[in-house]
Structure 1
Amino acid sequence: MTYVTACIDGSASAPAVCDYAAWASQRLDAPLTFLHVLDQRQYPVSANLSGNIGLGSREHLLDELAALDEQRNKLALEQGLVMLAAAKERAIADGVSSPETRQRHGDLLESLRELENDIRVLVIGRQGESSDGAELHVGSQLESVIRIMHRPVLVTPTRFKQPESAMLAFDGGATTRKGVEMLAASPLLKGLPIHLVMVATETTENAVQMEAACSTLTSAGHKVHTAIRTGEVEPALHAYQEEHGIDLLVMGAYGHSRIRQFLVGSTTAHMLRTTTTPLLLLR
């Protein structure tokens, strides 16, 4: 069984993560689980300080430091359990019948690798717990999560708005063609209008690719709008999204054209900083 899995922490994004995860769970008719990972770098399981210069002869200091570490770890554990309980309660209020919770001690990326086979969609906030609260700040681990995951990743803003329309950034590459097929087959966006937008020159080849993608989505019951825009990819996509009041942006995590440029490396963070709506990345 695969789950909609939502990463929960103490960030401002957490309530929206809960709500978008509950929305996805109900749309997909898939079970929901909340995941909280205690970062071992912040809360190590144990600390051996006996090798530190000068501390070896201060047994009472070693004992006190060990006790403090144990207390910090215990408090972090309890805080995580409280957050998971709150997330579960919120999801139930959103209409999810039996959400589950899971807490792990370790590294987030390693945990997600180990759990990936059980994940249908990963929901994660754009701003993590270590974020400084700046509106354009992106969580420090988000890009790494996007790179390692082979499942769709739904990146959420800090506020929830139920999606009523979606835009697929289409470049004609293998990933976005597969993305069209995924959207057509998935109940996640069933019944929602979809805007197919390509940022490129208007050529016969591009028009043919757009028509094929449009046909696939139309056959699945979607009302489809198509557009080919020129200019820089990111501003063109955001401008179209704002013009049409689109609630959800869908993209392939990798592509073969200029869209690839801002979803790999430093440009990934730039795209995530500038979007104000949830971003669904397909693999």
Structure 2
Amino acid sequence: MRFHDLLLHIDTYPKPTPAPAIEEAVRLAASLGGKLTALALEIEIPLHSNRLADYLIGLSDMATAEEARSRKAGKDGLAYFTEVAIKVGVYQAAASARAHHYDVAEDVAKIARTYDLCLLPRIDGSNGQLEVAQSVVFGSGRPVLTFKAGEAAALIQGPDEVVIAWDGSRSAARALADALPLLVRAKSVRILTVLNEKPGVRATIGADAQRHLQAHGVNATLDEVDTDGGTIGAAFDRYLERIQPDLLVMGAYGHSRAREFLLGGATQHILACVPYPTLLSH
């Protein structure tokens, strides 16, 4: 079992995906035995006609300049990806398209629906990447692996330590199944349950997940932590700081209302704050 068909999202605006993150994604695809397609969406900034704004601040010229910056970032990112991916032997395609600035996240989610896994490098200070992650997790029906440049090296070699966040939910079960190609390569797997945060989550609830992994040849240990009256995000932070995993696997909780995503507390915290590669499924 493996990821055969992977998608890499190369961000073009406002901050382009850095070359080291592209290279790590290529090497990760190679380690998983799959082929990789890169996608770069060049932004369009729709403007309503405003002669006064054009006269005072040159609004149309500013929009044109930003679009050009996005277009150059996309071309540069795809060129670097193509060079590295061909050299490593995982090149499948390099795709570009244009999208309205506010439609980028939704467009990536639609394209990701026909891939086994979407690789999504995180960029410091880019809220756009958080939006893309949310859209792909909840809108593609496929798992997402997020990471920052420099974080994925252990995954490429085969992770030493993987943590699975488990609450017995449907989304947690989906994440468990989606992560199996990575779990079978791990030296150690831990099933983490956070107690006294969500109704129905009880001690030893992870035993069924442990049995299922054993059937796939993965030996996992059960860990339980208590929120101690705090938030689930704080409980995750304390645990992950102690374990320092190479990968976190988690079901994403939330729903969409029109184009606004409403995330569960744990999902929001993981997407925004956790400094470890994370596989999310919904």
* CA shift for structure 1 position 170: 0.4
- Cα gap change, 1:219/1:207 in structure 2, threshold over 3 Å: closer, same or farther? farther
Deviations 1:29-84 (A, max 9, x none): 3220111111212xx5xx785x73698xx9xxxxx998997676556434421211
1:189 — aligned with what?
183
1:276 — aligned with what?
275
Correspondences of 1:210-229 after superposition (within 5 Å) = 210-229=206-225
Whether contact under 8 Å (1:6, 1:35) holds in the other structure is yes
Greater C-alpha Rg? 1
Correspondences of 1:208-247 after superposition (within 5 Å) = 209-231=205-227, 232-247=231-246
- Cα gap change, 1:69/1:139 in structure 2, threshold over 3 Å: closer, same or farther? closer
1:162 aligns with 2:131: no
* CA shift for structure 1 position 197: 0.5
RMSD across aligned positions (CA): 3.6
1:141 — aligned with what?
131
Counterpart residue identity of residue 33, structure 2: D
C-alpha distance in structure 2 between counterparts of 1:123 and 1:245, whole Å: 21
- In structure 2, the residue corresponding to 1:84 is in which secondary structure? helix
- When you count strand as a share of all residues, which structure comes out higher? 2
Correspondences of 1:6-85 after superposition (within 5 Å) = 6-9=8-11, 11=15, 14-15=18-19, 17-41=21-45, 49=49, 52=51, 73=67, 76-85=70-79
Whether contact under 8 Å (1:138, 1:273) holds in the other structure is no
Q: 1:103 aligns with which of 87, 96, 109?
A: 96
- Cα gap change, 1:105/1:205 in structure 2, threshold over 3 Å: closer, same or farther? closer
- In structure 1, the residue corresponding to 2:240 is in which secondary structure? helix
- TM-score scaled to structure 1, two decimals? 0.73
Whether contact under 8 Å (1:20, 1:156) holds in the other structure is no
- Segments of structure 2 that go 5 or more residues without pairing to the other structure are 255-261
C-alpha distance in structure 2 between counterparts of 1:177 and 1:109, whole Å: 25
- Cα gap change, 1:270/1:102 in structure 2, threshold over 3 Å: closer, same or farther? same
Q: How many residue pairs get matched?
A: 253
- Segments of structure 1 that go 5 or more residues without pairing to the other structure are 59-63, 256-262
